[in-house]
Structure 1
Amino acid sequence: MDNILKITFLVSATVIFLTYIFYPIFIFFLSRIKPSPSPNYLQEVPGVSVILPVYNEESVVRRRLENLLDQTLFSKLEIIVVSDASKDRTDEIVKSFNDSRIKLFRLDRRSGKAACINTGVEQSSNEILIFTDANTEFESDAIEKLVRNYGTFEVGGVCGYLEIKPSGKQKAESGYWKFERFLKEREGKLSSVCGANGAIYSIRKEYFKPLPSNKNVLDDFITSLQPLRFGKRLIFEREAMAREEASVTISGEYRRKIRIGNADFNSIKEVLFLLNIFKCSWVSVFFVFHKLLRWFAPVFLLMLYFSNLFINSIFLFFNITFIIQILFYLSGFIGWLFLRKGKYPPVLTAVTYFCIMNVSLLTGMLNWLTGDSKPYWEPVRR
């Protein structure tokens, strides 16, 4: 029995090490060795359709539309706003613009973000699609910088650069997105980015596949990777910049991450083609280390803790590793107490954010296993 516990401990520790330490280092050095493909920019920018799903976004939708209309590519822009049966003044505000470039489509009943995106794409009329969120703000040339990369048919999609603006509180969330940007940029230099963020990304319309609308899925992850089915690349464009405010409340961010965690597992079936290393090359490696292992990390963290707890060993090594784990989770709890009081010590906040992320992932997994997977979403207060 003790040997089984030791094997469980070593396997779990190895997975955690590969996910959070080895992979970032590996991708960093490999991307420095392998030369990046030279960009091939378009001489003439094509028409663009922006897909904007909204639900009860009256506090931000006016600013969002003004931001989109202020783009340097304004003359070739079509903005498709799909309201998921909003109950506030969202639809009224959209209609008040009275601009031919803005088209509003309202769903008769709550159907979820995936249904909104499917409707938006169906109603769009341009060959290049851009997906974004209501709480996102683009730099004035963001769309132009995104679509200029379609100068070669090798590129099927483009992921932009998302900067999280800390609200003076959630520094850890900003740090997490810096880490994500680092991975995406390195993956893009090697081959293709393993999934875009929903705030700013684009694909060619011909590669769009309707999303499952009966469950909660990672719409940005699934949609942005569809070009890879056809041997195309999803690249990272650092100069196409977008910004979002960090979440104001820990509880709101926790609920959001539970929904994302649940969507992670619902989305696996939709992207199993990524495991075909002969077709997807490096992206198969990225998918396993950047996504799959991280999604299952909470299970391995639990296995690591409880195997370490029950190992009957006189070896000092196992005693030290158990003490380290206790101190780590104790730090996360202390950090949470600080957060509740409005204080944000950097190291403790980072540990707390890591713990919250994995607890929400685990909760999302349990919801997935029990079939609790509603496709609806609620805006997080920012």
Structure 2
Amino acid sequence: MRARRLFAHLAGLISLTGLPYLLYGLLYVVRDPEGSPAEKDHDVEPSVSVVLPTYNEERIVESKLAGICEWDYPPEKMEVVVVDSSDDATPEIVREFFAERDAPELRLIEETERRGLAVALNEAYAAASNEVVVKTDCDSKVAEDALREAVANLADPEIEAVTGRNAEVLGGSEVERGYRDVQARIQTLESHVDSTFIFHGPFSAFERDSIVAIDEDSIADDTELALKIRKNGGRVVFDPAIRYKEASHSEFRKRRTQKDRRAMGLLRLLWRQRDMLGRYGGYGTVVLPFNWWFMGVSPTLVMAGVGLASLGAVAVGGPLGLAVPVALGAFVWLGARDSLGSLQPAYALFDTQVSLFRAAVKLLRGEGDGTWDVDAELREAFEAR
């Protein structure tokens, strides 16, 4: 009887966990979303401020600046706002790079102390003087046409912010690539329903007049800004035509740390903005509830399901039942090493649920701040490409 109850609970957990994903899948089929929902105008050329936060980026900042100057956009209509808190040669390299260039114009903000990314971004956004503000990360490579695609989206009067997709994961992580492919489909659907939730640091663009300050302790700065813009009435969308490449760890333990931090920021943001549920059109009635489920509820159910499956198998099969936890362990071991073949996307989703569960535990312990550390391995992945 105990085994039956365990399996009944397991079946209930599986049904409860999977139902929202099934409904989202059906919505995807019904809506058949493709590309950005914006009415694009590729002929517009507003002035643009490119915000680049830096901290000890002396190995890669020149390459990043060169990439920005290669974007398919009139340099005389651009300025680059670098906000720097380094204790290495980064600011000197930035100044030297722009010394013999008339355009884009440089605005270099040198912080006397390191106060966190959110504080630095608020200062940079306030200093940006042009119509459109693009935020990009130093350890990413952005497609030459990304800015044109972004301003084409923002030409739609309903759209006030836009982000893009990770077209290639630098560093060779199949787990991260698999998750990003699934995420791109979800964000495309969300943008057609109303607005998307997650915005991406490697490239996000905002109407200058729509920008508001973000919390100084934020660890989900790009997404928080987009959420607040939606809260103020503007739409914020995902366009897969905007492409970038971002470095991600290939080694399991380091990737877990990176994903846990991102998950902590998103969970904390959802909690702080919980008053948006049920409001703001499809954003509050469809998009946010799904993200609450995926990030806040589903990870606990998945962990409970794994535990019940293992306990139930042992209760019914005795020693033979150990095959279930062993199989689960093999799934995790092989998936962490990008060795599951066609099952790798399934592991990518499972891996994300684990990170979200761990992030929730860390937040309950009071962990998480707004500073970030330079990662040598990610810098090497960026330099290699």
Q: 2:89 aligns to what?
A: 89
Give the equivalent residue in structure 1 for 2:19. 18
Asked whether 1:373 is paired with 2:375, we answer: no
1:361 to 356, 360, 363: 356
CA distance in 1, matches of 2:36, 2:251: 40
- The TM-score normalised by the length of structure 2 is 0.83
| Contact 2:164 2:238 survives alignment (8 Å) | yes
Assess if the C-alpha contact under 8 Å between 2:295 and 2:356 holds in 1.
Answer: no
Letter in 1 for 2:235: R
* Whole-Å separation in 2 of the counterparts to 1:356 and 1:152: 37
CA separation of 1:188/1:353 partners in 2, compared to 1, >3 Å: closer, same or farther?
A: closer
Aligned partners of 1:332 and 1:351 also within 8 Å? no
CA shift in 2, pair 1:150/1:350, >3 Å: closer
C-alpha spacing 1:37/1:144, structure 2 compared with 1 (3 Å)? closer
Deviation at 1:366, TM superposition (A): 1.9
Rounded to whole Å, the distance in 2 between the matches of 1:90 and 1:248 is 27
- CA shift at 1:119, angstroms? 1.1
**Paired position in structure 2 for 1:262:** 264
Give the 3-state SS of the residue equivalent to 1:304 in structure 2.
helix
Partner of 2:209: 206
Per the alignment, residue 172 of structure 1 pairs with 175
Tell whether the 8 Å contact from 1:196 to 1:220 is kept in structure 2 after alignment: yes
- Tell me the SS of whatever aligns to 1:149: helix
Measured after TM superposition, the shift of residue 123 of structure 1 is 0.9
Describe the superposition over 1:165-191 as per-residue Cα deviations: whole angstroms up to 9, x where unpaired: 353x41221121111111112222332
What is the CA deviation profile of residues 4-50 of structure 1, one whole-angstrom value per residue up to 9, with x for unaligned ones?
Answer: 8667534532343135x425522421322899856142643211111
Change (3 A) 1:312 1:144: closer
Residue correspondences, number: 370
User: Offset at 1:325?
Assistant: 6.1
**Residues 141-162 of structure 1: per-residue CA shift (max 9 Å, x gap):** 2111101222232111112232
Q: Distance in 1 between matches of 2:10 and 2:92?
A: 57
Question: Contact 1:81/1:102 (CA < 8 Å) preserved in 2?
Answer: yes
CA distance, structure 2, for counterparts of residue 91 and residue 239 of structure 1: 32
TM-score (norm. length: structure 1): 0.84
Q: Is the 8 A contact 1:333 1:352 kept in 2?
A: no
What is the aligned-residue RMSD (CA, Å)? 3.3
Aligned to 1:374, the other structure's residue is in SS state coil
Contact 2:52 2:80 in 1 (8 A): yes
Q: In the alignment, does 2:329 pair up with 1:329? A: yes
- How many Å apart are 1:326 and its aligned residue? 5.0
Higher mean Cα deviation, 294-303 or 30-39? 30-39
**What amino acid does structure 1 have at the position aligned with 2:143?**
E
Q: Which position in structure 2 is the counterpart of 1:272?
A: 274
Per the alignment, residue 158 of structure 1 pairs with: 162
Runs of at least 5 residues in structure 2 that lack an aligned partner in the other structure: none
State the alpha-carbon separation in 2 of the partners of residues 6 and 345 from structure 1.
27
Contact (CA 8 Å) 1:159, 1:202: kept in 2 or not?
yes
Moved more, 118-127 or 291-300: 291-300
- Hey, what's the Cα distance between the residues in 2 that align with 1:5 and 1:345? 29
- Structure-1 residue corresponding to 2:248: 246
Q: Equivalents in 2 of 1:249, 1:117: separation in Å? A: 30
Q: Deviations over 1:214-241 (max 9, x none)?
A: 3x42112111222211332112323222
Q: Is the partner of 1:372 in helix, strand or coil? A: coil
Which residue number in structure 2 is paired with residue 57 of structure 1? 57
Q: 2:234 aligns with which of 216, 232, 237?
A: 232
5+ residue gaps, structure 1: none
